């Protein structure tokens, strides 16, 4: 079938919103084991909330840099399965491939790993013989990932596409004295991850160097910026640049989402108080 075995592949890494109750993710691994029995398969997570494409996209972006270069990422959060959204595979400059629906799920990871080429998964011989309209993870995406792992060139999977769907978290809004962000991801500890990157925060801070910065979230008008989750008093809220390198709201030994009763989209405000900043 035009493939060459390739010993130095990374693993096939799976992310879905299938949860852990059913056999669905397991069945995808069965399909992979049938096509590429030597492939090592890693569960990134199957616990993304149902249909939360952006959460999955963020998780993929945060993971892509920590795996070997030639890893195959297989992402399936696919509320549009069986409709006209395209199944795609993406090759990146870093050597990683990404496989999944063209609904934005793969965009942030593709961008981080430097997108090189996109194809539509159309070649029938690299799908399961019977393709359902309800489970492309099993019938189209898992086979494609397994064939790529075996060394199949991307182009064999289908025709090249000029572009893919782009999906990004909201951007921060900045003016002279304020930086306004929002919560874009909530993790299982209840940590509230905002869209304010360390770079944006530091650039804002350097513009405001004569003044004091306050981090405001919900009823807290001045959260301490901590270096570690374990700083501050037991049960106290804090701000921290966590593993995403984004500003997070956390609670020491606690759960910030519950503490603040916070949901996605909640505002985080960085406020500069004191003498007017000089523009740089």
263 by Cβ neighbours in 10 Å (0-12 / 13-18 / 19+) ranks as exposed
- 132 is a contact residue toward its own copies (CB under 8 A): yes
253 is a site residue for its own copies (CB under 8 A): yes
Out of 170, 173, 228, 273, point to the residue binding its own copies (CB under 8 A): 228
CA angle, 130 then 136 then 142, to 5°: 90
Q: Which residue has the tokens 């629906």?
A: 101
Pick the piece of the chain touching its own copies (CB under 8 A) from 63-71, 151-159, 207-215, 259-267: 63-71
Torsion of the alpha carbons at 41, 44, 45 and 49, rounded to the nearest 10: -130
Q: Which of 53, 54, 57, 59 binds its own copies (CB under 8 A)?
A: 59
- Backbone CA torsion sign across 34, 35, 37, 43: negative
- Angle (nearest 5°) at CA 185 between 260 and 219: 20
Q: Which is nearer to its own copies, 35 or 115 (CB)?
A: 35
Find the shortest distance in angstroms from Cβ 157 to its own copies.
Answer: 20
Candidates 53, 54, 57, 71: give the one binding its own copies (CB under 8 A): 71
Q: Is 230 in the site for its own copies (CB under 8 A)?
A: yes
Residue 30 CB contacts under 8 Å (≥ 6 apart), including other chains: none
Q: Is 102 in the site for its own copies (CB under 8 A)?
A: no
Residue among 115 and 257 whose Cβ is closer to its own copies? 257
Helix, strand, coil in percent for the chain, rounding step 5: 25, 30, 50
The H or E element containing residue 251 is strand 246-251
Complex with its own copies: residue 80 or 120, whichever CB lies closer: 80
Q: How is residue 226 written in tokens?
A: 């901590």
Least separation, in Å, of the C-beta of 233 and its own copies?
Answer: 13
Binding site for its own copies (CB under 8 A): 8, 10-11, 13, 15, 18-27, 29-31, 33-34, 37, 40-51, 59-60, 62-63, 66-68, 71, 79-83, 85, 132-135, 138, 187-189, 227-231, 240-243, 253, 255
């Amino acid at each position: 079938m035009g493939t060459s075995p390739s010993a130095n592949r990374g693993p096939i890494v799976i992310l879905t919103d299938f949860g852990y109750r059913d056999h669905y993710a397991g069945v995808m691994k069965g399909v992979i084991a049938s096509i590429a029995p030597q492939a090592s398969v890693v569960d990134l997570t199957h616990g993304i909330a149902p249909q939360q494409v952006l959460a999955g996209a963020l998780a993929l972006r945060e993971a892509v840099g920590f795996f070997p270069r030639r890893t195959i990422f297989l992402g399936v959060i696919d509320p549009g399965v069986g409709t006209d959204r395209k199944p795609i595979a993406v090759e990146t400059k870093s050597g990683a491939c990404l496989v999944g629906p063209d609904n934005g799920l793969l965009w942030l990871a593709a961008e981080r790993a430097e997108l090189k080429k996109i194809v539509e998964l159309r070649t029938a011989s690299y799908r399961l013989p019977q393709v359902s309209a309800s489970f492309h993870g099993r019938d189209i995406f898992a086979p494609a990932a397994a064939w790529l792992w075996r060394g199949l060139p991307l182009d064999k999977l289908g025709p090249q596409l000029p572009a893919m769907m782009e999906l990004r978290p909201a951007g921060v809004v900045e003016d002279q004295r304020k930086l306004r962000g929002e919560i874009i991801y909530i993790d299982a500890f209840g940590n509230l991850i905002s869209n304010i990157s360390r770079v944006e925060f530091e650039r804002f801070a350097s513009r405001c160097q004569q003044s004091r910065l306050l981090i405001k979230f919900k009823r807290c008008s001045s959260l301490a910026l901590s270096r570690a989750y374990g700083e501050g008093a037991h049960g106290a809220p804090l701000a921290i640049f966590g593993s995403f390198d984004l500003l997070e709201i956390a609670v020491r030994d606690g759960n910030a989402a519950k503490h603040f009763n916070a949901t996605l989209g909640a505002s985080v405000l960085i406020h500069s108080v004191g003498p007017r900043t000089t523009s740089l």
